[in-house]
Amino acid sequence: MAVKLSPNTVKKEFIEKLEKLSGQNIQKCFQCGTCSGTCPMSDSMDTPPRQILRMAQLGLQEDLEKSETCWVCASCHGCNVMCPRGVDLPRVMEALRQMKLRKNVNKIEPSEIPAETIKDCPQIALVAGFRKLTS
Amino acid sequence: MKIIYYPGCTLKTKAKNLGDTAVAAMSRLGIELEELKRWNCCGAVYSLADDDLIHQVAPVRVLVRAMEQGGGKLVTLCSMCYNTLARANLIMKNDEEKRNTINSFMDEEKDYNGEIEVVHLLSYLKDEVGWDALKEKVTVPLEGLNIAPYYGCTLQRPREVGIEAPGSFQLMTELLEAAGAEAVPIAEADLCCGSYQIIGNPEAAGNNSAKIVSAADKAGADALSMSCPLCEYNIGKKQGGLPTFYFTQLLALALGVSPEECHFELNHQSSFELLKSKGIVKL
């Protein structure tokens, strides 16, 4: 993917907000791709975790807002324990989710969850799902 | 001997086969799991956003209740509760600014500074009971059962709260061996089952769980042993391809707790069938 960089494309405020919300220095990432290789959900992502972090480093706010990847992350921390640079990527994913959720949007609508699922699944599935995927 | 115990929401409803069997098994070992007198949901997942302190209040309140009830160790079972409580505890121990904000927000409660030690039952069994002592109490050895220990994510990650290092599955392996079963190692023991994505992205979650079942099957395991109701739902009930047990059910059974009290009716029916076919449960 060719990316043109200029002071207009690098959204500095976005980078600052992402770093503040995640508590992570995203510039530490040197793009080794261990996170993408480790991620058990990467097959279902439109953009793998390594690329998400690169896009974040370059402040590509609009592209990140379009990506659905942060919604697919299951916060399993598999990438986090393997990262040679100590970047806590699940926190970056959480920050990306929160930026979307704080605009008062839901990724899933509780009323649309099949009744059978609500009846069968353990409470922690619902509590965790609502915490991560609804505003 | 008594130890304070936090069951969490799911163990009181959908996962009685995890909670009740732990209480019964520990009682056979002469240890009473004394439930916290007042407890609330821990929130199931730890808040990862740096500015989101309000969601830390629920787990911290649980820790405050444990302190009010005598303090020391707080034993938990559900992997997600363990993870959430242990991580919230680290904030209260190590982050002065956040600790002060949370303490000043809570009106009724005493200030809390991380005094409680959050302990998962597997660690407690090893450190406070010991595998040799446990072995001596086994009356129904689980002979002929080949069980793959499965940890999922939250028992081991992140490192600072892991019950052991990522990639090591010793505690559950040793427990299963003490109970007389054969532990079958699988590399997928810490692969995520898909977790809460079972309601957000069920297909992706299902793919992950299927990989775990397939790995255990290929390794020659008859069943998987686990500690998390969400893993059990995703891998056991939703997949239905391989029997799944909570480690506490296997422990209780080995210690002579009756099969009825082990609530196998709450597992996929293949789980109980397996125990019957191996002659461990006789009808």
- Average pLDDT of the residues of chain B: 97
Give which of B243, B251, B80 is closest to B181, Cα–Cα. Answer: B251
Is a pLDDT exceeding 90 seen at residue A1?
Answer: no
Distance from CA of B259 to the nearest CA of A (A): 22
| Model confidence pTM above 0.90 | yes
**Could you give the CA distance from residue B200 to residue B202 in angstroms, rounded to a whole number?**
6
Q: How large is the ipTM? A: 0.95
Rounded to an integer, the average pLDDT of B254-269 is: 96
Distance set, CA B144 to CA B175, B187, B218, B278, B280 (Å): 15, 22, 17, 7, 9
Is a pLDDT exceeding 80 seen at residue A87?
Answer: yes
Cβ distance A89 to A128 under 8 Å? no
B51-104 pLDDT, tens per residue? 999 999 999 999 999 999 998 999 999 999 999 999 999 999 999 999 999 999
Is a pLDDT exceeding 90 seen at residue B283?
Answer: no
Chosen from B11, B48, B208 to mutate, greatest number of chain A CBs within 10 A: B48
Rounded to an integer, the average pLDDT of B112-130 is: 98
- Say whether B45 and A71 touch across the interface (CB within 8 A): no
One-letter identity of residue A11: K
Q: Which of A81, A94, A133 faces B158 most closely, judged by CB atoms?
A: A81
A27-83 pLDDT, tens per residue? 999 999 999 999 999 999 999 999 999 999 999 999 999 999 999 999 999 999 999
Q: What is the pLDDT of residue B179?
A: 98
Rounded to an integer, the average pLDDT of B245-258 is: 98
**Could you give the CA distance from residue B165 to residue B167 in angstroms, rounded to a whole number?**
6
Is a pLDDT exceeding 90 seen at residue B50?
Answer: yes
Q: Which of B15, B43, B211 faces A131 most closely, judged by CB atoms?
A: B43
- Say whether B158 and A80 touch across the interface (CB within 8 A): yes
Q: Which of B51, B81, B197 faces A21 most closely, judged by CB atoms?
A: B51
Chosen from B40, B50, B160 to mutate, greatest number of chain A CBs within 10 A: B50
Q: What is the pLDDT of residue A100?
A: 96
**Could you give the CA distance from residue A47 to residue A33 in angstroms, rounded to a whole number?**
12
Is a pLDDT exceeding 90 seen at residue A8?
Answer: no
Is a pLDDT exceeding 90 seen at residue A98?
Answer: yes
Q: What is the pLDDT of residue B29?
A: 98
pLDDT band at A4 (very low <50, low <70, confident <90, very high): confident
pLDDT band at B118 (very low <50, low <70, confident <90, very high): very high
Pairing mode of beta strands B223-226, B146-149: parallel
